Amino acid sequence: MIPYVLRRLVAVAVLVVGISLVTFALVRMVPGDPVALYYGGMPVSADIEQSLRRQWGLDQPLPVQYLRYLGGVLRGNLGVSLATGRPIMDDLVRRFPATVELTLAGVLLALVVGLPLGVLAALHRNGPVDHLLRIVSLVSLGMPNFWLGLVLIFVFGYHLGWFPPAEGRLAAGIPIPERVTGFYTIDSLLAGDLGAFRSALAQMMAPAITVAMGLVAVVIRMLRAGMLEELGKDYVRTGRSKGLSPRAVYYKHALRNAIIPTITVVSIQIGYLLGGNVLVEAVFAWPGVGLYYINAINALDYNAVIGATLLIAVVFALINLFVDVLNAFIDPRIHYA
C-alpha cells in the first residue's frame, strides 16, 4: 500500500510541474501587455513602463522567468499579484475556503435530495416515479449553471423574494466572523453570531442549489443503478424469504452497499466542481478561487492565473489519490498495481 501511495504522490508532483509549465506557456500567449493594463491603458512614458517591467521580472527571457517562478513554487512562494500587490499564496488561502464551502454545500444538498430519490427510483423501477425522475435528471443535466444562477437570483430571488440578492457571502452590514476555518457558516456559529450564521446560510442557498443541480442527476442515477444491483443479489432474496422486513433489507444492507460507488463518484466530482464552479462564482459574485481566476485573466495577472490553476489541479489530484486509496482500503479486491 505504502509504495503505491508514494508512487502516486510522485506522479502528482510531476503533474504539478507539468501543469505549471503548460499554464505558464498558455498564459504568456494571451495577447496584451500587463504593464499597459496596469495603467488602465492610460499613456505612461516608455522608461516608466520599462522600470515596471523590470520590477515584475518581465524583461527576462521566458525560460528564465519560468525557472525563477518554478523555484519560488517549490519553496511555497507563488509570487505577488500584479493587481492586488499581495502574495498570491495569501490571496488564494483566503479565498479557497469560499470555494470549498460552496462546493461542499452543493454536494451536501445534492446528496440529501438525490439519495432518497435514487432509492425511490430503484424501488419503483420503471414505474411513473422512476420515469419522472429520469426526465427531471435529464433536464437538470441540460441546464447551463450560469443561466440557472441568473434565473434563481432574479426570477426567484428578486421577483419572488425567495433568495437574497447576490452580494457575496454575507449581506451588507454584517461583520465578517472571526476567521477559524474560513467557512462563514462554521465560524459564525463558533463566534456565537446567529445573525451572521443566518445571513451566511441565506446567501449560500441559491448558489448551492445551482451547484447541486448538476450533481443531483448523477447521484440519483448512480444510486439507482447501485440499488438495483444490490437488490438483485442473493442476500436480499434470502433476507426477504427469511421474513426480514423490507426496511431492514433495503435500508440497512442494500443501501449501504449501494452508496459506496455513489460516494466514490461524488468525491471525484468534488475535484471537478472546485474548479468548474467558475461561472457560478461569477454569477453570484462569490469571492472564491474561480472568480479570482477570472479577474486574474482579465488583468493579465500571470502569476495569479498560474497560482490559481495549480492550486485547483493539485487539490483535484490529491482528492483522486485519496479516493483511490480509500477504495483500495475498503475493497481489498481492487488491484492497485
Partner 1 sequence: MRSEVATVPVPLAARRRFKWNSSLVIGGSIVLLMVFAAVFAPLLTPYDPIKLDIRGRFQAPSTTHWFGTDQYGRDVFTRVLYGARYDLLIAVLAVAFAAGVGTPLGMLAGYFRGWTDVVIMRVMDLLLAFPNILLAMTLAAVLGPSLNNAILAVAIVGIAGYARIAYSATMAASTEVYVEAARALGAPHHRLLLNAILPAILAPIVIRGTLGMGFTILLAAGLGFIGLGAQPPTPEWGAMINEGRNQVILGRWWTSVFPGLAIVLLVTGFNLLGDGLRDALDPRTR
Partner 2 sequence: MTQLLRPLAIVAALLWGVALTQGDPKVFNFGVYFEPSGVDPHISTDAAATWMANNLYDTLVRYETTTLPDGTVVGTTNFKPWLAESWTVSDDGRTFVFRIRDGVPFHNGDILTADDVAFSLQRVLTLNFAPAQLLRNCTNPDHIAVSGPLEVTVELMTACPFFLNLLVQTPTGSILNKAFVEANGGVEAETINEFLRNNPMGTGPFTWGEREPGVLYQLVAFPDAWSGAPKLDRIDFRFISDLASQYVLMQQGALDAIYNPPIDILEQALVNPALKVLDQQTIGLQTLYMPNKNPPFDDPRVRQAVQYALDQEEIADAATLGLASPARGAFPSLLPGFTDAYWVYDRDVEKAKQLLAEAGFPNGFDTTISYNSGNAQREISAVVAQAQLAEAGIRAEVQAVAWPTFVEGFREGTMPMFVVSGLAAPVPDQFIAQYFTTGSLGPGGNYAYFSNAEVDALAERLAETVDGDERAAIMDRIQAILMDEMPSAFLYNAVLPYVVRAVVQDWIIYPSGDWFFATVYKD
Distance from CA of residue 333 to its chain's centroid? 30
Locate cell 522600470: which residue?
51
Q: Which helix (H) or strand (E) holds 23?
A: helix 2-29
Judged by CB under 8 A, the residue of 12, 44, 319, 328 near partner 2 is 44
Q: Considering the rule CB under 8 A, would residue 241 count as an interface residue with partner 2?
A: no
Judged by beta carbon distances under 5 to 8 A according to partner kind, the member of partner 2, partner 1, none in contact with residue 51 is partner 2
E strands of 222-314, at which residues? none
Residues 229/254, Cβ–Cβ less than 8 Å = no
Residues 211/277, Cβ–Cβ less than 8 Å = yes
DSSP designation for 80: B
In the beta sheet, which residues pair with residue 80?
87
- The nearer residue to partner 1, 75 or 159, going by C-beta atoms, is 159
Q: DSSP of 34-56, one letter per residue?
A: HHHHHTTT----HHHHHHHHHHT
Tell me the C-alpha distance between 293 and 336, whole Å.
35
Q: Considering the rule CB under 8 A, would residue 294 count as an interface residue with partner 1?
A: yes
Judged by beta carbon distances under 5 to 8 A according to partner kind, the member of partner 1, partner 2, none in contact with residue 313 is partner 1
- The nearer residue to partner 2, 8 or 95, going by C-beta atoms, is 95
User: Minimum CB separation from partner 1 for residue 171, in Å?
Assistant: 17
Q: Considering the rule CB under 8 A, would residue 201 count as an interface residue with partner 1?
A: no
Residues 283/153, Cβ–Cβ less than 8 Å = yes
Cα dist from 65 to 58, 130, 158, 260, 276, whole Å: 7, 57, 48, 46, 29
Residues 94-133 that bind partner 2 (CB under 8 A): 94-95, 112, 116
Tell me the C-alpha distance between 216 and 136, whole Å.
10
Q: Considering the rule CB under 8 A, would residue 282 count as an interface residue with partner 2?
A: yes
Helices 302-330 and 62-74 pack at an angle, to 10 degrees, of 50
Q: What is the CA radius of gyration of the chain?
A: 24
Q: What cell was used for 87? A: 502574495
Q: Considering the rule CB under 8 A, would residue 161 count as an interface residue with partner 1?
A: no
Tell me the C-alpha distance between 23 and 307, whole Å.
9
Judged by CB under 8 A, the residue of 60, 84, 140, 267 near partner 2 is 84
DSSP designation for 335: -
- The nearer residue to partner 2, 153 or 317, going by C-beta atoms, is 153
Q: Considering the rule CB under 8 A, would residue 83 count as an interface residue with partner 1?
A: no
Q: Which stretch binds partner 2 (CB under 8 A): 16-24, 46-54, 122-130, 253-261?
A: 46-54
Q: Strand, coil or helix: what is 266?
A: helix
Judged by CB under 8 A, the residue of 36, 171, 244, 282 near partner 1 is 282
Q: Considering the rule CB under 8 A, would residue 142 count as an interface residue with partner 1?
A: yes
User: Minimum CB separation from partner 2 for residue 119, in Å?
Assistant: 9
Q: Which stretch binds partner 1 (CB under 8 A): 13-21, 39-47, 101-109, 189-197?
A: 13-21
User: Minimum CB separation from partner 2 for residue 32, in Å?
Assistant: 3
Return residues touching partner 1 (CB under 8 A).
Answer: 15, 18-19, 22-23, 26-27, 29-31, 138-139, 141-148, 150-151, 154-155, 158-159, 272, 274-276, 278-279, 282, 293-294, 297, 305, 309, 312-313, 316-317
Return residues touching partner 2 (CB under 8 A).
Answer: 30-33, 36-49, 51-52, 54-55, 80, 82-86, 91, 94-95, 112, 116, 153-154, 158, 164-169, 171-174, 176, 195, 198-199, 201-202, 205, 282-283, 285, 287, 291-292, 295, 298, 300
